[in-house]
């Protein structure tokens, strides 16, 4: 199987980031078609497509969109989550740089489908170039009438505001993103069953639709070519294509768009295969998901069910490949430090647990590990998992626990010999 290019079809077309070139390849046809349909008709098309949220959780997109329609009249918002911060993931960055109009168009379609007049795109603070690309696209879209009142004839309008985050991983969590967008601390807010969904009470307690960049980018294609066409790709329970960011020990790291259900090892081949030694492990969906040892990679299909069956998750599609020079303990040390640094501090298990794990890992790689440390790490992970306020705690616990369970021998080697089991040339290199 090869790549299946939908979003990336015109990836190499010069100038596709401009409205003029984007229009030559069908750009904004989806929006024009959507504006001729009722909101319910647009949502039906999304439903037929089977599109699932591309941010990591895979929630059926149409249910969210549909949930906006039941609300009483008043302000409602469309928010694009462009706070791409999951380590190993860089698909939204390329989408924003190369196809900013696809995202603007997708948000405008969502605006029409949900009766919203205002959109916000919340872009990771470090993404200054993608933000510039989006800003240029928004300006062009206003000039050409795709935003504002413009080509709409029913008196409605749709505006997009570009907002940059301030460097917090947590703000990629949708409720924390809303807090941040409203000017509050970037901390998560209550969700069902404790509080209504954002589509009922989100930004400023108004109905709010939040989707990932890639999800919005799918909408123009679905509206232009039909939900049934989109649903013809992928598997029975996971429709369409998905972009994977492949990085690590591969010959051609980069973003690859494939049909859902493609075997993991085929994705590896597309990226030119493993370099510098034999395959040791793959983290298929960003740093938050459990690590897969090489032996377990052979039968994995890249869709939601396939990954779950293999004991990991599809996540955001940040596929990190590691060869045999990789020291799993050091890899997890870096991971633990990341989550300790990014914990927002709101809830006890994540605030205290992530820092504790990072300190234990610090000690192990300094050669001060104790025989009971691997078990202690698992226990700390168990005490965080499922008990934190938002999924960040789970995301911090899963990779560490999986690594201890899969690579216990490497931890024990560090404890016993105070050196890396793969020798002094091991990676990652961390000062």
Partner 1 sequence: MSQVEFVNITIDGTTVQVPAGEMVIESARRVGIEIPHFCYHPRLTMEAGANCRMCLVEVSMPRKNPDGTLALARMPKPQTSCSLPAAEGMVIETETPMIVEARKGMLEFLLINHPLDCPICDRGGECPLQNNTMHYGAATTRFVEEKRHPPKAYPLSKYVIFDRERCIHCARCTRFASDISGDAQLDFLKRGADMEVSSFRDTEFTSLYSGNVIEVCPVGALLSRPYRFTARPWDLSTQKSICTECSNGCNIKLDHRAGKLLRVNARLNEEVNEEWTCDQGKFGMDYASHEKRLRRPLIRDGAVFREVSWDEALTHVATALSEAGPAAAFLGGARSSNEDLFVLRRLFQEVLGSQNMDHRLGPAYPSAADVRAALGSQSPTPIAAYERMTTIIVFGCDLAVELPILYLRVRKAAVRRGAKVIECQPSSYRERPHANKVTDFAHSSIWYEPGQETAIAEALAHVMTGGRDPGASDGASDAAASLPNAVAEANVEFGSAIPRLDDGPIAIIIGRDVWSRSLSVPATLKAAADKMGTPCVINTYACSVNEQGARELGILPDGSVQASAPGLNADQILHGLKDGTVKALWVSGVDIASQFHDPELVTQSLEQAPFVVVTALDLNRTATMADVVLPLASVAEYDGTYTSMERRVQRFHQAFDAGVDVREEWRIAANVGMRLGVDMPYASWRDIFGAIATSERAFAECTPDNLGDGGRLLADRNNEDSR
Does position 387 interact with partner 1 (CB under 8 A)? The reply is yes
Cβ atoms of 318 and 57 closer than 8 Å: no
**In terms of CB distance, is 288 or 323 closer to partner 1?**
288
Can you tell me which of 44, 266, 269, 352 binds partner 1, judged by CB under 8 A?
352
Nearest distance in Å: CB 353, partner 1: 6
168 binds partner 1 (CB under 8 A): yes
Distance CA 193, CA 187 (A): 18
* Contact of 120 with 88, CB cutoff 8 Å: no
Nearer to partner 1, 149 or 394 (CB): 394
Q: What torsion, rounded to 10 degrees, do the Cα atoms 301, 306, 312, 316 define?
A: 70
Which residue stretch of 82-90, 261-269, 295-303, 387-395 sits at the interface with partner 1 (rule: CB under 8 A)? 387-395
Structure tokens at 401: 């626990």
The smaller minimum CB distance to partner 1, of residues 202 and 227, is found at 202
Residue 21's CB is within 10 A of a number of other CB atoms, namely 15
Q: According to CB under 8 A, which one of 165, 261, 317, 349 is a site residue for partner 1?
A: 349
Choose the binding region for partner 1 from 80-88, 308-316, 321-329, 356-364 (rule: CB under 8 A).
356-364
For residue 273, how far is the Cα from the chain centroid? 24
Diameter of the chain measured on Cα atoms: 73
The single residue among 163, 296, 363, 408 that binds partner 1, judged by CB under 8 A, is 363
Query: Judged by CB under 8 A, which of 237, 383, 405, 412 binds partner 1?
Result: 383
- Regarding 367 and contact with partner 1 (CB under 8 A), the answer is no
Residue 160 pairs in a beta bridge with: 119
Q: Is 355 in the site for partner 1 (CB under 8 A)?
A: yes
Q: Which of 2, 382, 409, 416 binds partner 1 (CB under 8 A)?
A: 382
Under rule CB under 8 A, residue 182 binds partner 1: no
φ, ψ dihedrals at 366, nearest 5°: -90, 5
- Spatial distance between the Cα atoms of 10 and 373, rounded to a whole number of angstroms: 51
Out of 157, 161, 185, 418, point to the residue binding partner 1 (CB under 8 A).
Answer: 185
What is the spatial distance between Cα 418 and Cα 422, in angstroms, rounded to a whole number? Answer: 12
Window of 132-140, 193-201, 227-235, 311-319 that interacts with partner 1 by CB under 8 A: 193-201
342 binds partner 1 (CB under 8 A): yes
What is the tally of helices (H) and strands (E) in the chain? 18, 9
Q: Which two tokens stand for residue 227?
A: 């939900």
Q: How far apart are CA 415 and CA 360, in angstroms?
A: 11
Find the shortest distance in angstroms from Cβ 287 to partner 1.
Answer: 16
Q: Which is nearer to partner 1, 30 or 165 (CB)?
A: 165
Which of 146, 159, 118 shows the shortest CA–CA distance to 20?
146
Binding residues for partner 1, rule: CB under 8 A, are 168, 170, 185-187, 189-190, 193-195, 340-349, 351-356, 359-360, 363, 370, 376, 379, 382-383, 386-389
């Amino acid at each position: 199987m090869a790549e299946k290019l939908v979003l990336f079809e015109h990836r190499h077309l010069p100038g596709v980031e401009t409205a003029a070139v984007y229009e030559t390849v069908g750009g904004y046809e989806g929006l024009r078609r959507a504006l001729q349909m009722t909101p319910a008709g647009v949502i039906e098309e999304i439903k037929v497509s089977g599109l699932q949220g591309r941010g990591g959780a895979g929630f059926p997109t149409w249910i969210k969109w549909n949930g906006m329609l039941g609300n009483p009249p008043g302000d409602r918002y469309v928010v694009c989550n462009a706070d791409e911060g999951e380590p190993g993931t860089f698909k939204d960055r390329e989408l924003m740089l190369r196809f900013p109009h696809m995202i603007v168009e997708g948000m405008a379609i969502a605006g029409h489908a949900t009766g919203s007049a205002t959109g916000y795109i919340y872009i990771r603070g470090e993404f200054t170039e993608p933000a510039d690309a989006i800003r240029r696209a928004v300006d062009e879209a206003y000039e050409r009438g795709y935003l504002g009142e413009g080509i709409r004839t029913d008196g409605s309008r749709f505006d997009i505001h570009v907002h940059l985050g301030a460097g917090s991983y947590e703000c990629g969590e949708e409720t924390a993103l809303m807090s941040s967008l409203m000017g509050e601390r970037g901390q998560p807010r209550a969700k069902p069953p404790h509080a209504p969904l954002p589509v009922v009470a989100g930004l400023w307690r108004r109905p709010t639709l939040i989707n990932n960049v890639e999800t919005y980018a799918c909408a123009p294609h679905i509206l232009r070519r039909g939900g049934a066409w989109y649903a013809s790709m992928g598997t029975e329970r996971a429709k369409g294509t998905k972009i994977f960011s492949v990085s690590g020990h591969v010959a051609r790291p980069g973003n690859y768009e494939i049909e859902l259900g493609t075997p993991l090892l085929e994705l590896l081949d597309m990226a030119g295969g493993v370099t510098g030694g034999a395959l040791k492990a793959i983290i298929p969906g960003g740093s938050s998901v459990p690590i897969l040892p090489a032996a377990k990679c052979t039968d994995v299909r890249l869709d939601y069910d396939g990954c779950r069956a293999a004991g990991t998750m599809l996540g955001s599609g940040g596929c990190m490949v590691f060869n045999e020079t990789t020291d799993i303990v050091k890899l997890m040390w870096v991971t633990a430090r990341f989550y300790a640094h990014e914990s927002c501090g709101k809830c006890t298990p994540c605030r205290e647990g992530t820092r504790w794990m990072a300190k234990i890992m610090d000690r192990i790689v300094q050669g001060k590990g104790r025989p009971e440390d691997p078990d202690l790490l698992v226990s700390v992970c168990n005490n965080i998992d499922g008990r934190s306020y938002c999924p960040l705690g789970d995301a911090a616990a899963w990779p560490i626990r999986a690594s201890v369970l899969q690579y216990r021998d490497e931890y024990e080697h560090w404890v016993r010999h105070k050196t890396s089991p793969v020798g002094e040339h091991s990676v990652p290199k961390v000062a």
